[in-house]
Structure 1
Amino acid sequence: MDIDNLSGSLIQVGEKTVRGVAGIMQEAGKEIQKRAVEYAPVDEGDLENAIKYSAERTGRRGRVMVFIFIDEDMPTSDGKRVGSYARKMHEQLAPYGTGRYNLGPKSREKRDAGADVGGKFLERAINELRGKVYERVDQLVKRIK
């Protein structure tokens, strides 16, 4: 193999890897968002609806950036914004948060149906799925070799 073919081969491997990792990140972002919604407390559904996913391509090479976030400016059913409520529930809701707040009736129903409802819902979703993302990237790289 001459140097030009080797260079072209390495570029192809790099491009396949970048595209593959971008796809993995987008899939993982959607999974994390879904899991965070599952873990979030529910009353009127405002907080669950405010947990968002987005992916953006940036730069010349089209790098993908994935965001899972709470849209704090999203209006609630009573005309307020979900922001301060979301922060309180994430940080202070029992279990997993400080325990200042406890699950309400609809959240207990959701928990009793099998969801692990409680504080740190976004953080827990990210932490639980992080290892799976690394495994998927590792498998991708092994396939491309």
Structure 2
Amino acid sequence: VQKLDEKSLEFLERLKREYAGMLYIVPTGCLDDYYWMIASVVGDKLSDVDADESPERFPGCRPMLISNDQMRDHKLELLEPRQFRRWYSCHIVNYDFSRAPLDDEWGSSRKVHVFAADVYSNEIQGNPFNDNAEDTGSLVWHLPVREWDKHDKL
């Protein structure tokens, strides 16, 4: 059991107030990992955003998990580690706190840096190619490319 000091408790209460309805508190004694794993794949219609609706957010219904947990224990338990890696890269938002002076640990001088999840998988992918609804056994390959002009070709 982790005991929080008074400053940490105040900060937690502030988060609960400011993010009421968006922050879920896992009951004591429950394994939080299962809650956020399920929440990240549930179709929450309240989170759905059209492509032109919000420029600061990705379109679609895409819950994000803000965590620095590397989930090593889950990677080892899964039958399909590649699929887990894909899910992880597209749903986990990592963060880092800038260093703050010792006397201002919770003050305004401390900044939070957020590293957004990938919008698309950054792995090479092959998908079956069907020519005229016939399975030819061929594959179509998708190659991730950064900063490519719309007229560039392989």
Normalising by structure 2, we get a TM-score of 0.20
Q: Which structure: greater strand fraction?
A: 2
Q: Which structure: greater helix fraction?
A: 1
